[in-house]
Structure 1
Amino acid sequence: MLKFDLEKSDIKQFILLFVFALIIWIFYELAGFAVAGGTPQIDQNIILAFRDANDLSDPIGPKWVEEMMRDITALGGVAILTSFTLFVTLFLLIENKPKIAALLVLAITSGMIVSFSLKYGITRPRPDLVPHGSYVYTSSFPSGHAMLSALVYFTLAGMLSHLPVRRRVKSYFYMIAILFTFSIGVSRVYLGVHWPTDVLAGWLMGIGWALLTLVVARFLRMNGHFSSD
């Protein structure tokens, strides 16, 4: 039985690594397109779909929707994500899970460094089809809000899932991560500050980094490094 469990765990690790490699390949293809300066027609069509055809400065929907989108996009800001990370790290320390807390901080800190490095390395201009609904000061690819929200919320869900909680609670953690990440990405396009492919690339890299963290966490747990946590 032990041998079967180990083999099953190895298969899961292989699948996770395969998905990670696939994500990196797709991101690489999108990055190559961004570096070449291309903007697919679908990028433009999606951004324009969020605007009044008679007045491109006016996003679709009533004013409260535009204000709500600004609130949602703030959930992917560095200050909010850092605060969430700090809160969960302190919670894990209170629960006497120092190793998991350390892995959490390492994963998110390294992911943020990767995110900023990619943005400054791939200097894709911001969309200029419509006025921006939010202040921006970096290049466009990948979307930092999309990448960091995916990275942070999925990593937080993964680390919290290491706690002795029911399966439905673990599923709830991931559902919240999906909801927040998707909403934040959509808000960036709605506000006209990112091309949809920027957001897609950000989602991919953020989820990929979170997956890599999960692989490391599973490996450490299989080798007994989290047994005392």
Structure 2
Amino acid sequence: MFSLTRWTPAWRLPEFNTLVAFLVISGMLFAFVKIADEMAEGETVHFDEAVLLALRQPGDLARPVGPWWLEAAMVDITALGGWTVLTLLTVVVLAYLAITARRGAAALVLAAVAGGALLSSALKVGFARPRPELVDHLVNVSSASFPSGHAMLSAATYLTLGALLARTESRRSVRALIFGVGVVLTLVIGVSRVYLGVHYPTDVLAGWCLGASWALMCWLVARWLRPRGDETDAAAAEPG
């Protein structure tokens, strides 16, 4: 008699997630390099300035488009990607993971946030792009412009936390909602930086690409380094 081996779809194999992650990382890193190259050569000036001007009142570049409450909302939203909020959030999460003895998850969060912050600071110094001068800044800034630290760190932090929280739910719809919240927060924080006139659009695009790819790379390293049989850390290291 012949026996048929049960066929497993490719997307259910453990190697499939790793392959997809490598492809996504490669694509985002290529996009970052392309944006950085075009920016350094001055090819993005017209696009950047056109977007900044489109978000300001004609004849009054100190006033953004939209009602008064939209500007206030953008100021509040942009704070979610700032050092204070991200540091407090990271400390609280690390404390919780330490108490619950989830060492792999704690290492993943620490690497994603601290490593992303160091990388962002180094790149800002290296590129040394001045902040936009075409429009008024609606919040205070002090560092260089490229890449956007808010966009990069919010991607690294909220995407990592979204993936970790999503693993605590068995229902796909809830997991998708949790991870989706992380994605939305990352996007609106980046948009707020352009709306407030403190970043060029290409700063934010580059920050998104690098932050998301950094979060994925941290996840891959966490999978490779976790001890065999550590089920708690294994679940924490899987993306949503």
TM-score under structure 1 normalisation? 0.90
- Give 2:196's aligned residue: 191
The partner residue of 2:30 within 25, 39, 50 is: 25
The partner residue of 1:161 within 166, 169, 179 is: 166
Please provide the CA RMSD for this pair: 2.3
TM-score under structure 2 normalisation? 0.86
Letter in 2 for 1:146: A
Alpha-carbon distance in 2 for matches of 1:75, 1:217: 26
Letter in 1 for 2:92: F
Contact 1:100 1:226 in 2 (8 A): no
* 1:119 aligns to 2:102 (yes or no): no
Alpha-carbon distance in 2 for matches of 1:228, 1:214: 15
Alpha-carbon distance in 2 for matches of 1:4, 1:90: 39
Offset of 1:69 from its aligned partner? 0.7
Offset of 1:21 from its aligned partner? 1.1
Which range moves more in the overlay, 127-136 or 59-68? 59-68
Distance 1:3 1:215, change over 3 A: farther
* 1:50 aligns to 2:23 (yes or no): no
- Give 1:206's aligned residue: 211
* 1:83 aligns to 2:88 (yes or no): yes
Q: Percent of aligned positions with the same letter in both sequences? A: 42
Which range moves more in the overlay, 25-34 or 36-45? 36-45
Alpha-carbon distance in 1 for matches of 2:115, 2:102: 20
Alpha-carbon distance in 2 for matches of 1:176, 1:57: 31
Which range moves more in the overlay, 116-125 or 1-10? 1-10
Residues 2-38 of structure 1: per-residue CA shift (max 9 Å, x gap): 9959982112201211110111111011112223344
Distance 1:2 1:16, change over 3 A: farther
Offset of 1:154 from its aligned partner? 0.3
Contact 1:220 1:226 in 2 (8 A): no
Alpha-carbon distance in 1 for matches of 2:85, 2:189: 12
Q: Which has the larger radius of gyration?
A: 2
Residues 111-149 of structure 1: per-residue CA shift (max 9 Å, x gap): 111011111111111111111111111111001111111
Which range moves more in the overlay, 202-211 or 8-17? 8-17
- Give 1:147's aligned residue: 152
Alpha-carbon distance in 2 for matches of 1:25, 1:39: 17
Letter in 2 for 1:161: A
- Residues matched between the structures, number: 228
Contact 1:34 1:141 in 2 (8 A): no
Alpha-carbon distance in 1 for matches of 2:120, 2:70: 29
Residues 165-215 of structure 1: per-residue CA shift (max 9 Å, x gap): 433332122111111111111111111111101100001101111111222
Letter in 1 for 2:215: A
Offset of 1:226 from its aligned partner? 3.3
Alpha-carbon distance in 2 for matches of 1:3, 1:226: 28
Contact 1:134 1:193 in 2 (8 A): yes
